[in-house]
Amino acid sequence: MLQSLVGYLDSVKARDPSARSRWEVLLYAGVWALAWHRIAHWFYTLEFYWLARLFSQIGRLLTGIEIHPGATIGKRFFIDHGMGVVIGETAEICDDVTMYHGVTLGGVDPASGIGGKRHPTIANGVIIGSGAQILGPITVGANARVGANAVVTREVMAAATVVGIPAKPVLMDAANFSREFLAYGTPCDERYDPQTQRLEIIRCEMEKLQARLNALESEHRDTPRRTGS
């Protein structure tokens, strides 16, 4: 238990250039929000929904981070700064995910109702910039990066970087790409793959062309045909 706490604090310290010690990290709102969530989620799995919600609301009050007790969160999740983060009930967050303040993992379709998957799945090692809104039951692939203030409503391929509204992939310059984890958005190891980025850009372009083609086809279908004289 102590070992895993120390391991977690070290992993947070490694991701925050301003952290000087484990004791300092222990004061972080994101660390406490996760602790409150672990308790809330435990009650949720036991179907004590009121108690689960109580602990989640206490966590929210103390940290400014709202995590629904039903959200599933893996190992070494780190919310830096934290204030304004909202994580929905059916969100799934895998291991080593880093997130900044103001992020929403939200739903768009209330019709799916209680128990239906409404929120995103975030794969291992994803980094989500401040203010990003990731909406719907989509998946953000492993080690992808979501830019600050991006609005993501479609699947994101593994190792892709997406920015903007609506979020689109950007091609990174491989020569400038760091192999070390850098806070604020650069993942580590061999995860960056320019081929993946190019494929993702082509996929988005094809989607855009398909949408234009569909619009043209339906416009053509709706135009009344001139009858020959």
Ligand X SMILES: CC(C)(COP(=O)(O)OP(=O)(O)OC[C@H]1O[C@@H](n2cnc3c(N)ncnc32)[C@H](O)[C@@H]1OP(=O)(O)O)[C@@H](O)C(=O)NCCC(=O)NCCS
10 Å Cβ neighbour count for 112?
15
State in angstroms the smallest separation of the CB of 95 from ligand X.
19
Residue 30 within binding range of ligand X, rule CB under 6 A: no
Alpha helix ranges (H) inside the chain: 2-15, 22-25, 29-45, 49-63, 194-222
Residue 172 within binding range of ligand X, rule CB under 6 A: yes
How many residues make up the chain in this entry? Answer: 229
- In the range 208-227, which residues lie near ligand X by CB under 6 A? none
Query: Could you confirm whether 119 is annotated as catalytic?
Result: no
Residue 130 within binding range of ligand X, rule CB under 6 A: yes
- In the range 32-51, which residues lie near ligand X by CB under 6 A? none
Kind of pairing between the strands at 161-163 and 168-169: antiparallel
What does the alpha-carbon distance between residue 167 and residue 152 come to, in Å, rounded to a whole number? 5
What does the alpha-carbon distance between residue 26 and residue 9 come to, in Å, rounded to a whole number? 7
Residue 181 within binding range of ligand X, rule CB under 6 A: no
Residue 201 within binding range of ligand X, rule CB under 6 A: no
Q: Which is nearer to ligand X, 91 or 156 (CB)?
A: 156
What does the alpha-carbon distance between residue 120 and residue 71 come to, in Å, rounded to a whole number? 10
State in angstroms the smallest separation of the CB of 22 from ligand X.
21
Q: Which stretch binds ligand X (CB under 6 A): 36-44, 66-74, 108-116, 161-169?
A: 161-169
Query: Which residue type is seen at 222?
Result: D
Q: Which is nearer to ligand X, 15 or 76 (CB)?
A: 15
State in angstroms the smallest separation of the CB of 56 from ligand X.
24
What does the alpha-carbon distance between residue 43 and residue 49 come to, in Å, rounded to a whole number? 7
Q: Using CB under 6 A, pick the residue from 51, 170, 188, 199 that binds ligand X.
A: 170
Q: Which is nearer to ligand X, 30 or 147 (CB)?
A: 147
β-sheet bridge partners, residue 168: 163
* The residue to which tokens 């135009």 are assigned: 223
Q: Which stretch binds ligand X (CB under 6 A): 44-52, 54-62, 116-124, 163-171?
A: 163-171
What does the alpha-carbon distance between residue 43 and residue 37 come to, in Å, rounded to a whole number? 10
Residues making contact with ligand X (CB under 6 A): 81, 100, 129-130, 145, 147-149, 161, 163-164, 170, 172, 184-186
Which residues belong to the active site?
101
